[in-house]
Amino acid sequence: METQERILKTAAALFMELGVRSVSMDDVAKKLSISKKTIYKHYQDKDQLVFDTISMHIAEMEKNTSFIMNSETNPVLQIAKIADFVLEMNKNVHPSVLFDLQKFYPKSYTHLTEHRNRFALQSVNQNLQKGIELGLFRGDMNRSRVARIYMCLIFSMFQNTLFEGEEQRDFREEYIETIKYHLYAVTTEKGKALFKEISWLSIQP
């Protein structure tokens, strides 16, 4: 693995675990056992490093989501499989990550929201349309509005202020409950029956 890639992946892991603002370039250098000067050979400043980690995160999200959407034809199972991937990818996420980006790294935050408003929203709309066509999702919903509501719910879990006051958060439980909430809201009786048969125990009703 090349030095620049090592720096990027190490920084991304630290940002996810500890929060973006709290991790310094010194912390990244120390974790890699390299000099800070070596990092600056590849990244002009922390802003660039943060932006590139977000770009890497987005690329991975889009690659895996596209694979699931193209390989799984059942829209209920699409949601379950994407949820499984998201949980694994964000299992150690620090609750301040999105807040840090929004307040201190606006360029990176805008990059992330553009991904949400473009690729992620389009994927949700495609999923809902497929479910409606197969009779698994309600045909009377306003699809575009429901897609936006769902995206707001998902992104709200990364907002530190939403669960302010809770001594200990369980991201996995929050995410699974959000998936259940969404599926129960959009599925027909046929879709609910399929949902109950999902072998992935974590999101069973």
Non-local CB neighbours of 144 within 8 Å, separated by 6+ positions: 125
User: What value does the CA radius of gyration of the chain take, rounded to a whole number of Å?
Assistant: 19
What are the 10-residue block averages of pLDDT along the chain, 205 residues in total? 92 95 96 95 96 96 96 94 88 86 96 94 97 97 96 80 61 85 94 78 45
- Structure-block tokens of residue 93: 């996420």
C-beta separation of 159 from 174 below 8 A: no
Q: Given this model, what pLDDT does residue 90 score?
A: 84
Q: Given this model, what pLDDT does residue 201 score?
A: 44
Q: Given this model, what pLDDT does residue 196 score?
A: 80
Q: Give the span between the Cα atoms of 24 and 125, in whole angstroms.
A: 39
Q: Given this model, what pLDDT does residue 164 score?
A: 58
Domains of the chain: residue spans and CATH: 45-203 (1.10.357)
